[in-house]
Amino acid sequence: MKKTLSIALMSAAAFGLAACDVEKKQSGNVDLPKYEVEKKQAGDVKLPEYDVKTPDVAVNKEQRTVDVPTIKKEERTVTVPDVDVKPAQEK
């Protein structure tokens, strides 16, 4: 369950980033504090592996008869608002 949730979140994040248009407005700067670290033991990092199998999707066309609603157009006289705008330069 955790593996499926992780994959779903990563996919959603990747899709969200792919659909964005990013424009850099200014450069940033981060001043990190200086510190000393003493190594106590050697570490080992192993990233998780995923075997993702995607579904096969087939999009086809077929002819079917369906009921389609139609719209009638008729002309009527109605009252509509009339808005006059003066630009700020003409005030």
pLDDT of res. 22: 62
User: 16-64: per-residue pLDDT in tens?
Assistant: 555 556 677 777 787 888 888 888 888 887 888 888 788 888 889 999 9
- Taking the C-alpha atoms of residue 20 and residue 78, their distance in angstroms, rounded to an integer, is 43
Sign of CA dihedral 74, 75, 76, 82: positive
Of 79 and 31, which is predicted with more confidence? 79
Query: How far is CA 61 from each of CA 26, 66, 76, 86, rounded to the nearest angstrom?
Result: 50, 15, 41, 54
Phi and psi torsions of 19, nearest 5°: -90, 0
